[in-house]
Amino acid sequence: MTEGIKRVLIVDALNAYLRAYIVDPSLSSNGQPIGGIKGSFKILQKLVRLSKPDSVVVVWDSPNGSRKRKSLDKNYKAGRKPLRLNRAFHNLTDDEELQNKIWQQSRLIEYLNEMPIIQSYVENVEADDIIALVSQSQALSEYHKIILSSDKDFIQLCDNSTILYRPIQKEILNKKRILEQFEIHPTNFALARAIAGDKSDNLPGIGGAGLPTVSKRFPFLSEEKSYTIQELVEYAEGIDSKLKVYKNIIEKRELIEKNYKMMQLYAPNISAQSAQYIRRMLNNPEFNFNKSGVRAMMIEDGFGVYDWNDLFTLFKRISVESKGG
């Protein structure tokens, strides 16, 4: 990171929480799982230690998902299996485990409300779109942005001032590394994925064309220029080749167009009213760090002993600076 430049950490909250919930085995003093809460703070503290941000924005998905995307494809994200703990708690029934998972998420939100961060949620809007809007906002134009998420969708947002940290993959992606790894420029990444499809979101591709094939058969997608589906089709029509990928590009244009509308974050799927609300929140943040209240909550929830100094030091600094101290 470049010294002297302000940094903002933008957290895909549900993505981070679910990872923590699944992998962190922490139990409270009375034996209840609290890994979702504690693990989320561990992830946040690690990123705070690495990036030393000046501000933190935490963004939650709407439980109902994206109304706009579901209107385009009713099968969007259909068939996803419910996430379960990768360990057995013999004292919890399936229903009790589900209730604990919901409680941990709600409790995490309560914790974050006591901290000097910007926490955002918009009904019927996915975190992807809010994060895209936040990263493109004028309020943060002078900041370097660090997006925390394992979601590959955010690769398209990476530019000279935006990077993606993927905790599950333990990798940091900037524009240079994306080009080296995928041979696709971030400005064309959504287009490439529209061709390849996304199984995790139940969005089929054209068939027989993963990202490596797309980058090989359409090498110009490594350029900074933002290409269109029309230009891709024209290229496929004009090339002297019998490879099926070019035929599929032409014949399955409508599928690619629908996928692109679902996947692209360059123009976030969010209403003007909701966008105005988020921009207002970024321009006029209300910061409060109730350190004693957070510690009391940790004692109540049976956190046990853990060193949160890096996290608390950051929050104290943000709180002081927001008051002009």
Here the tokens at position 160 are 């000279």
142 and 287 assigned to the same domain? yes
Q: Sorting pLDDT into bands at 50, 70 and 90, what band is 63?
A: confident
Q: 58 lies in a domain? A: yes
Q: 173 lies in a domain? A: no
144 and 241 assigned to the same domain? no
Q: Tell me, what's the pLDDT at 178?
A: 98
288 and 145 assigned to the same domain? yes
Range of weakest confidence among 47-51, 64-68, 94-98: 64-68
Q: 75 lies in a domain? A: yes
134 and 283 assigned to the same domain? yes
Contact 254, 193 (CB under 8 A): no
Q: Tell me, what's the pLDDT at 305?
A: 84
Q: Tell me, what's the pLDDT at 94?
A: 82
Q: 244 lies in a domain? A: yes
Domain boundary among 243, 263, 283: 263
What is the pTM (predicted TM-score) of this model?
0.92
Q: 208 lies in a domain? A: yes
Encoded amino acid at 165, one letter: Y
246 and 214 assigned to the same domain? yes
Mean pLDDT over the full length of the chain: 91
Q: Sorting pLDDT into bands at 50, 70 and 90, what band is 90?
A: low
Q: How many whole angstroms separate alpha carbon 214 and alpha carbon 310?
A: 43
Domain boundary among 241, 263, 285: 263
32 and 116 assigned to the same domain? yes
Q: Sorting pLDDT into bands at 50, 70 and 90, what band is 79?
A: low
Strands 162-166 and 171-173: antiparallel
pLDDT 10s digits, 172-184:
999 999 999 999 9
Q: Tell me, what's the pLDDT at 36?
A: 94
Average pLDDT over residues 301-310: 90
Q: 162 lies in a domain? A: no
Q: 164 lies in a domain? A: no
Q: Evaluate if residue 96 carries a pLDDT over 90.
A: no
Q: Evaluate if residue 88 carries a pLDDT over 90.
A: no
Q: 224 lies in a domain? A: yes
pLDDT 10s digits, 200-247:
888 999 999 999 999 999 999 999 999 999 999 999 999 988 899 999
* Count of the separate structural domains present in the chain: 2
Q: How many whole angstroms separate alpha carbon 51 and alpha carbon 162?
A: 13
Total count of residues recorded for the chain: 325
287 and 139 assigned to the same domain? yes
Higher per-residue confidence, 315 vs 322: 315
Q: Tell me, what's the pLDDT at 227?
A: 98
21 and 138 assigned to the same domain? yes
Strands, E, within 195-265: which ranges?
Answer: 197-198, 203-204
Range of weakest confidence among 75-79, 153-157, 313-317: 75-79
Provide the domain limits for residue 224. Answer: 182-263
Contact 195, 234 (CB under 8 A): no
Q: Tell me, what's the pLDDT at 259?
A: 95
Q: Sorting pLDDT into bands at 50, 70 and 90, what band is 80?
A: low
Domain boundary among 223, 242, 263: 263
Q: Tell me, what's the pLDDT at 77?
A: 75
* Alpha carbon 321 to its chain's center: 27
Instruction: Give me the CATH number covering residue 275.
Output: 3.40.50.1010
Q: What angle do CA 199, 235, 254 make, to 5 degrees?
A: 45
105 and 130 assigned to the same domain? yes
Instruction: Give me the CATH number covering residue 259.
Output: 1.10.150.20
Non-local (6+) Cβ contacts of 325 within 8 A are none
20 and 135 assigned to the same domain? yes
139 and 250 assigned to the same domain? no
Higher per-residue confidence, 297 vs 89: 297
**Region of residue 137 (left: phi > 0; alpha: psi -120 to 50; beta: else):** beta
* Alpha carbon 309 to its chain's center: 26
78 and 39 assigned to the same domain? yes
Neighbours of 9 (CB within 10 A): 25
